[in-house]
């Protein structure tokens, strides 16, 4: 399989535009509840899933929207599912975190770390029923501290399952720096279980594509599981409306009403020692600074980075981007035009 950077760009842009459209619907109200987007992870999703065929399987986490898009699931059906419509992908019962398509062998779950056991189930079935096919699990670096994921990787190695574990590492576990709650190196940890490990820059889709291709070919050949850690940056934080992101984008407006309470808590009598409180405040400020620096720029944005490298005329690029925009808009318009959500359905 040859690298097709233009095709990868189209796939990444489709994911980006679709999730941006989902974000608009969330802000405007048709979609309620928490919304976890994968904006900034497109290079990882496209670089890995470009290698899969129709008989391969994918286990996704709570950021499964892009994975479903890349598997070819109908965009309008995903929109309807996020809205809670009875004719959504899962009958309006799953929402954006629990998407499932039997026909595409794709499943997502809001349970942190559950993609590991799910992918191993897919891989075990592939090993017995569909030799030569593989399964892929997507999860964040914090999920590597979940027991079920470690157990899944252990069995994958013991049984030589055809599975690729993909860790999308943005360095932050909701609002906690992952390094502060994670012992050792994740790649080394995987190798300790007998799983081949490698780390790549997730903002470089071509690098991800090459590494994933080698690992998936290895799995297809019956040589067991692999672990791919891909670093990334998510500009929307853990979920839309993430307070860390709000403060990082508008520090003066957001921090002004909080400065008084913070100062009082730091110097008040009782509680933890002053030095410990000051240290905690310093860590909060450090986290805010890191969040501000992590906002997507050309270096961190996989879509913008590849766009600069494409060997394509400007006219052809504009045409491609217009096609993607129209496709996404058409899918959203189609979904909204035919939604028949009742009050009971909307409250699911």
Tens of pLDDT along 238-277?
877 776 666 666 666 666 677 777 777 777 777 788 788 7
* pLDDT value at 348 more than 60: no
Tens of pLDDT along 86-139?
999 999 999 999 999 999 999 999 999 999 999 999 999 999 999 999 999 999
* pLDDT value at 152 more than 90: yes
pLDDT of residue 245: 67
Domains defined for the chain, CATH in brackets: 5-235+297-346 (3.40.50.970), 243-293 (no CATH)
Phi-psi region of 298 (alpha: psi -120 to 50; beta: other; left: phi over 0): alpha
* pLDDT value at 347 more than 70: no
- Using CA atoms, how far residue 8 sits from 65, 172, 293, in Å, is 17, 27, 27
pLDDT of residue 292: 63
- Using CA atoms, how far residue 6 sits from 47, 75, 209, 307, 316, in Å, is 12, 21, 13, 9, 10
| Residue 148 contacts residue 21 (beta carbons within 8 Å) | no
What whole-number distance in Å separates Cα of residue 185 and Cα of residue 250?
Answer: 34
DSSP structure class, residue 188: H
User: Can you point out the beta strands (E) in the chain?
Assistant: 57-60, 100-101, 106-108, 135-140, 163-169, 172-173, 176-177, 196-201, 226-231
Tens of pLDDT along 289-339?
666 666 556 668 999 999 999 999 999 999 999 999 999 999 999 999 987
| Residue 163 contacts residue 219 (beta carbons within 8 Å) | yes
What whole-number distance in Å separates Cα of residue 60 and Cα of residue 164?
Answer: 12
Mean pLDDT of 148-165: 98
What whole-number distance in Å separates Cα of residue 266 and Cα of residue 57?
Answer: 51
**Both tokens of residue 102?**
């039997």
């Amino acid at each position: 399989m040859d690298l097709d950077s233009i095709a990868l760009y189209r796939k990444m842009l489709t994911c980006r535009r679709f999730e941006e459209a989902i974000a608009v619907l969330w802000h405007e109200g048709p979609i309620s509840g928490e919304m976890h987007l994968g904006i900034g992870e497109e290079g990882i999703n496209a670089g890995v899933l470009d290698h899969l065929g129709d008989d391969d399987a994918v286990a996704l986490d709570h950021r499964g929207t892009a994975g479903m898009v890349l598997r070819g699931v109908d965009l309008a059906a995903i929109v309807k599912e996020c809205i809670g419509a009875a004719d959504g992908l899962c009958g309006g019962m799953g929402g954006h975190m629990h998407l499932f398509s039997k026909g595409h062998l794709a499943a997502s779950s809001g349970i942190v770390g559950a993609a590991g056991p799910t992918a191993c189930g897919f891989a075990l079935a592939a090993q017995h029923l569909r030799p030569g096919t593989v399964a892929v699990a997507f999860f964040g670096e914090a999920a590597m501290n979940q027991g079920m994921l470690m157990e899944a990787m252990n069995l994958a190695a013991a049984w030589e399952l055809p599975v690729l574990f993909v860790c999308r590492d943005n360095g932050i576990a909701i609002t906690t720096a992952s390094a502060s709650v994670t012992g050792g190196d994740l790649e080394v940890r995987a190798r300790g279980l007998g799983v081949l490990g490698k780390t790549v820059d997730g903002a470089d889709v071509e690098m991800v594509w090459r590494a994933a291709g080698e690992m998936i070919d290895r799995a297809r050949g019956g040589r067991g599981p692999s672990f791919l850690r891909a670093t990334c940056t998510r500009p929307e934080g853990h979920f839309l409306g993430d307070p860390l992101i709000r403060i990082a984008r508008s520090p003066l407006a957001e921090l002004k009403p909080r400065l008084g309470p913070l100062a009082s808590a730091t110097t008040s009598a009782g509680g933890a020692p002053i030095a410990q409180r000051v240290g905690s405040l310093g860590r909060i400020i450090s986290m805010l600074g890191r969040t501000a620096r992590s906002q997507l720029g050309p270096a961190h944005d996989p879509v913008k980075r590849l766009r600069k490298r494409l060997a394509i005329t400007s006219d052809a690029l504009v045409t491609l981007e217009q096609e993607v925009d129209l496709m996404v808009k058409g899918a959203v318009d189609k979904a909204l035009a035919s939604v028949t959500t009742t009050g009971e359905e909307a409250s699911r």
